Chain A
Amino acid sequence: EIVLTQSPASLALSPGERATLSCRASQSVSTYLAWYRQKPGQAPRLLIYGASNRASGIPARFSGSGSGTDFTLTINSLEPEDFAVYYCQHNTNWPSFGQGTKVEIK
């Protein structure tokens, strides 16, 4: 079983700042890595797939990078709607999610 570990567990930033979120896999997942944003009371929304491809309608301030076991989601210039929980997900053997990173307002 491949385990995804996200860090940090929470992050306190101000609007306009940059957020850098990490996701580490216990074994290589190549670039089969997706990122989601989940606002309270809502379903997750796909942001990034294939480690670095923005999903349809996702603003350019979101970018993903990495391959193998280490991945990063960067959010440039945080907007109010970006204060939420972020999950990474791989699709090796079966889909599995990281435990999440909460981005809070400082």
Chain B
Amino acid sequence: QVQLQESGPGQVKPSETLSLTCTVSGGPIDSYYWSWVRQPPGGGLEWIGYAYHSGSAKYNPSLKSRVNISVDRSKKQFSLSLNSVTAADTAVYYCATDARTGTTDGFDVWGQGTLVTVSS
């Protein structure tokens, strides 16, 4: 079954770019929409966006101007880039997918999450 693992820096300076990678194992990268979801400390879940292997992507309108999600099929990875970060971007970042249907109707596969702190 599909498994996901996030990687990337645990701390980013204000105004810089947050970059994370999610490695896919146990299944094809060509079949699903690959999402990022974040959760601030003590807060709720926020969907950031998704990318498809073809290169198409969709983003949360509230973050759209700062986000890019891309897929590297050769490495079986997908990546998140969030620029101009502030303390409000401090959160646990999860990669996730709906491996049941290949849509976004219900995320049944999640990475373990990685905490990113925005601080100088």
Contact = CB atoms under 8 A, between A and B. Distances in A.
A46 B107 contact: yes
B105 A43 contact: no
B52 interface: no
Contacts of A100: 44-45
Contacts of B104: 91, 95
Contacts, number: 60
A94 B45 contact: no
Contact of B45 (A48, A49, A55, A97): A97
B54 interface: no
B92 to A, nearest CB: 9
A41 B48 CA distance: 20
A90 to B, nearest CB: 9
Interface residues of B, number: 22
Contacts of A99: 44
Interface stretch (B12-20, B22-30, B77-85, B109-117): B109-117
A97 B112 CA distance: 19
Given A43-B94, A95-B35, A55 B44 contact: no
A50 B103 CA distance: 12
B103 A43 contact: no
Contact of B107 (A44, A48, A50, A96): A44
Contacts of B46: 97
B112 A43 contact: yes
Given A44-B45, A96-B47, A91 B103 contact: yes
Nearest to A85: B44
Contacts of A78: none
Contacts of B100: 49, 55-56
A102 to B, nearest CB: 11
Interface of A: 1, 32, 34, 36, 43-46, 48-50, 55-56, 87, 89, 91, 94-100
